[in-house]
Structures are given as structure tokens and as C-alpha cells.
């Protein structure tokens, strides 16, 4: 009797989605950085993923980690975070 085991390469997009669903952010960041170092991911996608991870960390109230991810995103603008921080218009909204 023989046992066969088949392996297939799982696309990195699926791996990232699965890790994010499970809130395994550090593993996701490691995977993204590894893909970047190997040249398997575009700079735009890398920037998008850092921003996405940042938002998920922000929603989990992990502010310092979220800011670090936002800073790694080249496409992320600080004004994109304000709607999540300042819900009600106040006298500072128009200044910012």
C-alpha cells in the first residue's frame, strides 16, 4: 500500500487573504516582505498591502503597528486615515 501526497503552489494572494482573515498580521507582513525581496510583487501591490494591513491593525486598536504599516505604504496619504479618527465635524476638521 502506497500513500501519495500532492502539493500545489498556493498563489500568494490566497495566502495573504487567509492570513489576514485569521488576523495573523506578523506572518502576513513577513510574507509580503519576502515577496518584495524576491521581486515577486509589484511596488503598487506592496504599498496597497501595507495600507490594508495598517487599516486592519487600526480597527483592532493596534495603533502603533498600524502607523508603522501606513508609513511603509508609499501610496498612503494621511488624509485617508482621518475619516476613521474624526467622525464628527468639529472646528479642527476644516483646518486639517
Q: Which residues contact 57 (CB under 8 A, 6 or more apart)?
A: 25, 63, 65, 66, 69
Domain boundaries, given as residue ranges, for the chain: 22-85
pTM of the model: 0.72
Per-residue cell: 69: 504599516
Per-residue cell: 67: 502607523
Q: What is the pLDDT of residues 50-96, one digit of tens each?
A: 999 998 998 899 989 998 999 998 887 777 776 655 555 555 555 55
Per-residue cell: 87: 467622525
Q: Which residues contact 58 (CB under 8 A, 6 or more apart)?
A: 66, 81, 84
Q: What is the pLDDT of residues 5-41, one digit of tens each?
A: 888 888 999 999 999 999 999 999 999 999 999 999 8
Amino acid at each position: 500500500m502506497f500513500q501519495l501526497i500532492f502539493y500545489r503552489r498556493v498563489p500568494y494572494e490566497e495566502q495573504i487573504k487567509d492570513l489576514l482573515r485569521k488576523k495573523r498580521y506578523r506572518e502576513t507582513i513577513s510574507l509580503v516582505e519576502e515577496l518584495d525581496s524576491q521581486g515577486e510583487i509589484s511596488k503598487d501591490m506592496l504599498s496597497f498591502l501595507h495600507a490594508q494591513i495598517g487599516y486592519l491593525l487600526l480597527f483592532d486598536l493596534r495603533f502603533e503597528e498600524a502607523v508603522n504599516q501606513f508609513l511603509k505604504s508609499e501610496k498612503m496619504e494621511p488624509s485617508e486615515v482621518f475619516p476613521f479618527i474624526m467622525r464628527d465635524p468639529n472646528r479642527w476638521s476644516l483646518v486639517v
